[in-house]
Structure formats: structure tokens, C-alpha cells
Amino acid sequence: MLQNKTIAVVIPAYNEEKLILKTLLSIPEYVDKIIVVNDNSKDRTLNEIVKFESDKLLLLNHEINQGVGGAIISGYQKAFDEKFDIAVVVAGDFQMDSSEMENVINPILSGEADYIKGNRLLSPKLVMEMPKARLLGNTIMSLLNKVATGYWHIMDSQCGFTALNLKILPQINLKGVYKRYGFPNDFLVKLNVRNITVKDVIVSPIYGEEKSGFNAFFIIPKISTLLLRGFIYRMFWKYVIYDFHPLVFLYFFGSILILLGSLLGLEVLYLKFIYGAIATYATVTLCALFLIVGLQSTLFAMMFDMLDNASLKSKK
């Protein structure tokens, strides 16, 4: 317990036999409950978990693998049902420094925000310790995430070290949240639609014995598709259904004009290099006009989006 607030730690675990016990032993004393969600592991993860003899341990077993997001959601729901105030998510592979947990929780305790994201990208240890493929992938995903989620100030979208004020849980459509690798991104989309304040806090990554499943060539295209769907979902529900903002039209017309300009430009290049045909002045002008106006419209939409979501950085 911290400042009279009860703390539950949620640990999603899938095939973490090597490091799950080490992770459990690292949890600070002030934590009131440790909820481990065994997501149908195929190794000896369950055997390692039961070695941790503590009254604080609460074990949930999934009969069917639901993905990391599904495991976290199960943990959130259990913590909420048990009437805990704050739920902190820690990975079961000992990648997160639990000694920094209080720093992650503090903005909720102070009433500054309701959801806290760990930010590894500003950690001095990051460049030296994070695998370069993962660093590049996280950077690209974080840039795309800003546009999709509306949280333009969040730098490290893929970090799983988070804290949630459980009183806001009923506001979130958990059934509609993507449960696999893209859970952190889709969860932010759902939070933004409900205007939940989100803050990032610098955390230090731990890289050593764990094996990363990150494959940039596979993950980035897959998550990009998820982010596109999330962006459309956010535009529709936040700026059409719950409220109205003209930035929806700016994004829409900007996208259409950029698409038309790009297609027209490709046609001009195709005719030039394949048939040697030179496009007319009118065609080139129209192509440039579509692209310029489309880019301007999109940039204005982004500016309005940033301004509208600026208040979600902090409640103070």
C-alpha cells in the first residue's frame, strides 16, 4: 500500500520458466497482491510460479492462450473485482526494474494522470543495452502510435511497464481491445476515446537472459494495420459519435488528395520511363496541387488533433 492506495501487480506469463521466479522475487514489499496470469504456458512456468510461497500471490490460469493483452485484461478485471486501487503491469521476463515501480505509480497517487506508460527511450541505459533491431522497431512504432492514438506526447508506445487507476476501468471497452502483441497500442486508442489522461515516466530496461520475440519485418506491418484501424475507430467514435470536430474532414480530404496525387504522379512516371511520353503541364500541375493541398490539409488536421488532446497530458 502506498498513500492509503492498494497496489496490485499484474504479471502476464507465457513460457517464462527461466525468469518468472526471479521477477516475482523482485516485486517490492509495499505491493498488496501479485496477480500472475499463466497464459496456457507450454513449459514449466507454472511449476516455477508455485515455488513463490507468498500470501500475496494470486494465480490465474488460462485454459486457452489469449495473448499478452488477454492476460493483462484478465489481471485488470481480477484486480478491479478485488477492489484494488491501482494495477501495475510487469512482464514475466525480468525486463523491468521493479525498484522503479513507485516512480511509475506516483503520478496516479498525486492525481496527475490515470494511466502511466514507462518510457525507455529517454533512459541513459537504453542505447547501450536495448537490441538495435528492437530500438529501431520501437521508434518507428512510437511515431505511428502518436497519430493513431492521439497521445502525441507518448514516446515509448511498446513499453509494457504501466500503471492504471482502476477506477477508470469501467469506462473502457475491454471486449473490443486487441489481445495480442498490439495490445499497448489499441489500449491507448480506447483510452483516448474516453479522454483518459496518460503520462510517461522514464524507466530503465533490463536486457540479459530473456529472448526477444520482436521481429521488425513481421511486427511493424501487422501493428501498422492495427494502428490504421485504431485511428479510424478513434476518429469515428471520438470526433463523430461522442463529439464533433472538423479535423475529421481535414484528415479525410487530406488522405484522398494525397492518394490521388500519388496515383497521378505514378502514372506520369510510368508513362515517362516505359513509353517515353511527357506529361502535359496541366497533368503535372494537377498532381502537384493534389499533393500540396492534401499535405496541408493533413498537417492542419494533425495540429488540431494535437491541440484537442493536449489536455490529456495531465489533470493538473
CB within 8 A of 65, min separation 6: which ones?
14, 39, 40
Q: What is the mean pLDDT of the chain?
A: 91
Selection from 288, 285, 281 nearest residue 262 by Cα: 288
Q: Are 64 and 173 in contact (CB under 8 A)?
A: no
Q: What's the predicted TM-score (pTM) here?
A: 0.91
**212 has pLDDT over 70:** no
Which whole number is the average pLDDT over 296-309?
97
pLDDT at 215: 60
Which whole number is the average pLDDT over 271-285?
85
Q: Are 257 and 291 in contact (CB under 8 A)?
A: yes
**What one-character DSSP code corresponds to residue 84?**
-
Instruction: List the chain domain ranges.
Output: 7-227, 245-313
Banded pLDDT at 44 (limits 50, 70, 90): very high
**21 has pLDDT over 90:** yes
Q: Are 13 and 49 in contact (CB under 8 A)?
A: yes
Domain range 7-227, CATH class: alpha beta
Least confident of 69-78, 173-182, 190-199: 173-182
pLDDT at 210: 54
Query: Which is more confident, 128 or 189?
Result: 189
As to burial, measured by CB atoms within 10 angstroms (0-12 exposed, 13-18 middle, 19+ buried), residue 57 is middle
pLDDT at 309: 97
